[in-house]
Amino acid sequence: MILTNILYRTFFIKAEQYGTAFTIEVEGAEYLVTARHLLISNDSEPVIRIFRDNAWLDIQTKVVGHGRGEVDISVLQLSFRLTDMEFTVTPSIGEIVLGQDVYFLGYPYKMWGDIGGIMDGLPCPFAKKGTLSSISITKPQVIYVDAINNEGFSGGPLFFYPAGKPNELRIAGVVSKFRVEYESVLDEEGNPTLMTVPYNTGFLVAYSINHVLDIIHPNSG
């Protein structure tokens, strides 16, 4: 089940690369969150293009901060609000349970659903569901999901519903990538060659929303 609250917060973006972004509120202020690898790393005020009403809109942003080390997260601030505050979500991994269903939204291979004026002109994202396979709560906080992630979901929200709370949507993390492994290419006799091919292992990698909160309030922890 995908609530309106998260649909109105998810955006098809073009920066250095195409991908996905989403908004959250912290203490009444709105922030745009995405994957760091989608942006130009040394640009402190990047122009983000957001797809709306079948057109690309140039949006001036200001970098609040990037994740450190491998943490593939960037937090941006805008001069105007993108999402109405009535579409509430909670940025938290609280009450997440190993083995439960988790969901993620995005725009794989630059695809979207055209639903006209519904959703205030935003394109309909693709929704996927997976199983929370493992999680690391020491820093960096990494979330592993048993799901096929595709190019274009990077920067999208990974979210869940706590047990017994189907209307309380919690954003647990930011989608980063999928785990890649390499297999040897075999010759005609079935012997391995020096060549390899990459393949998607079926494990989505995301970084905890706590890294976003640490960027917004670096001294809160």
Delimit the domains of the chain by residue range: 4-216
Q: What is the mean pLDDT of residues 13-25?
A: 97
For residue 192, what pLDDT band results from cuts at 50, 70 and 90?
A: confident
Q: Taking residues 128-150, what's their average pLDDT?
A: 95
Residue that has been written with the tokens 């390899």 in this structure: 196
pLDDT for 81 equals 94
Confidence label for 59 from pLDDT (cuts 50, 70 and 90): very high
Q: Which long-range contacts (CB under 8 A, 24 or more apart) does 60-68 make?
A: 61/32, 64/31, 64/215, 64/216, 65/215, 65/216, 65/218, 66/36, 66/41, 66/215, 67/36, 67/140, 67/207, 67/211, 67/215
Architecture of domain 4-216: Beta Barrel (2.40)
pTM, rounded to two decimals = 0.91
Category of 168 on φ-ψ map: left (φ > 0), alpha (ψ -120 to 50) or beta: beta
Q: What is the pLDDT of residue 179?
A: 64
The alpha carbon of 171 is separated from its chain's Cα centroid by a whole number of angstroms, namely 10
The more confidently predicted of residues 35 and 137 is: 35
Query: Residue 40 has what pLDDT?
Result: 85
